[in-house]
Amino acid sequence: MELSERCRHLCGHIQTLTGVHAALLDLTAQRFSLPSFHTSCALQSGTDCNAYLTHLYGAYEAERWDGKYIYYCPRGLVFIATPPLQAGTPMECCVITGPFILSNDSTDPFEDLIRSPEPLDGIPRLTTAQARSLSELACAAISSLTQDLAPPDVDSGNQAAMLQMMYDLTEENAMRTYPIDNERRLQEHIRSGAKDAARELLNNLLTHIYYLAGNDQQIIKSRIRELLVLMSRAAIDGGADTNEILGLCCRYEQEVDSVDGIEALNRWIGAILHQFISLVFDLNDIKHQNVIFKTTAFIKEHLTDKLTLDQAAEQVFLSKSYFCRIIKDELGCTFTEYVNRLRVERSKTLLRSTGMPIAEIACAVGFDDQSYFTRIFKKQTGVAPGKYREQRITGTKKL
């Protein structure tokens, strides 16, 4: 039984056991081979959430973080990506478990960003601990599927075509000299997102490398590492996250030693090229939405703690400066202002639904003292906490 078929069976088991939907993302065909929860959702902004790109981002992040990744879709629902990974083999598919609603506090309502949403009845709620346990179990099950798989067969037809290309070019003077200008053009195509043109140039460069290196695998893999560095720098120039690309590049430079054969190398580095270009253009918006949702969940979970910018940036694996820029661009405020906004929203619930003294409410939502809480609350709502409670009780004003 091939790997994708095994993954499809596993999806059924996950769904039967947990009640959480499970789908299979086919990266080779660029589609779902098992139906996703929702292929397209109309967002308030009038744009659509492309399910393939959303979960492609999750698959890439799972590949980066040891085979599992918990992430949010643009709607605010949570998913888990667990791809079967084999060293030296491009990722071909990924199990997507979800959606579920992440909630450690039953009083926190789900803030659905969809104008005309598909009903959310039946979508389970999981705590943070439950979500992590589900991701660990799914990852362990997926890993077991790859343990007894034989190495993939080399496509002799494609290999012959590559050898024929090298033979045809032996008579050209250009073949005797490595085309360094094509490396610069490759970088330009990566920065501009021209995937087909970039792939064509990559094939040209690989053909020259194989021919000029003869059968010396050490030289070939050394030149492949150089191409990885060039491709990674171009992706960063194009706007991809620096830490993410450098981390992937470091991993791939080590992984190349386990890739054997021309055809396997072609498929492997071709998949990396596609990934780098996708990280530049297709997935930035999705990544930023995921950062915002994860930051919000982290703040709500630790609302009474002394939250710092460093702690929040670590939760989403970003540098402090880059994290600050995303918060400012996406929310129009600083991290501290956003924390205070969520604390005030929680305090409104307590003012409406409980008789707790205002000083206790201030402490319960993470403010150090009542006077500071009152000042922030009045700045955001226009009235003091006591006045807000009074107006809600009497129904004289709706806030």
- The average pLDDT across 232-253 equals 87
Eight-class DSSP state of 93: E
Q: What is residue 113's predicted lDDT score, i.e. its pLDDT? A: 54
What's the pTM value of the predicted model, to 2 decimals? 0.76
Eight-class DSSP state of 78: E
Q: What is residue 111's predicted lDDT score, i.e. its pLDDT? A: 67
What is the set of domains in the chain, with CATH numbers? 3-145 (3.30.450), 156-281 (no CATH), 302-394 (1.10.10.60)
The model's pLDDT over 179-206, given as tens digits with 9 standing for 90+, comes to 899 999 999 999 988 888 998 899 889 9
Q: What is the mean pLDDT of the chain?
A: 84
Residue 399 has pLDDT above 60, yes or no: no
90 preceded by a cis bond (ω within 30 of 0): no
Instruction: Give percent above pLDDT 70 in the chain.
Output: 83
Residue 46 has pLDDT above 50, yes or no: no
The pLDDT-based confidence of 155 (bands split at 50, 70, 90) is very low
On the CB side of 57, CA atoms within 13 Å amount to 26
Residue 15 identity: Q
The pLDDT-based confidence of 126 (bands split at 50, 70, 90) is very high
Q: What is residue 41's predicted lDDT score, i.e. its pLDDT? A: 62
> Using an 8 Å Cβ cutoff, are 207 and 162 in contact?
yes
Beta bridge partners of 97: 22, 80
User: Alpha helix (H) ranges present in the chain?
Assistant: 3-18, 51-64, 128-145, 156-169, 180-192, 195-213, 217-237, 242-255, 262-281, 284-301, 309-315, 320-331, 335-353, 358-364, 370-381, 385-394
The model's pLDDT over 280-297, given as tens digits with 9 standing for 90+, comes to 876 777 888 899 999 999
Q: What is residue 156's predicted lDDT score, i.e. its pLDDT? A: 44
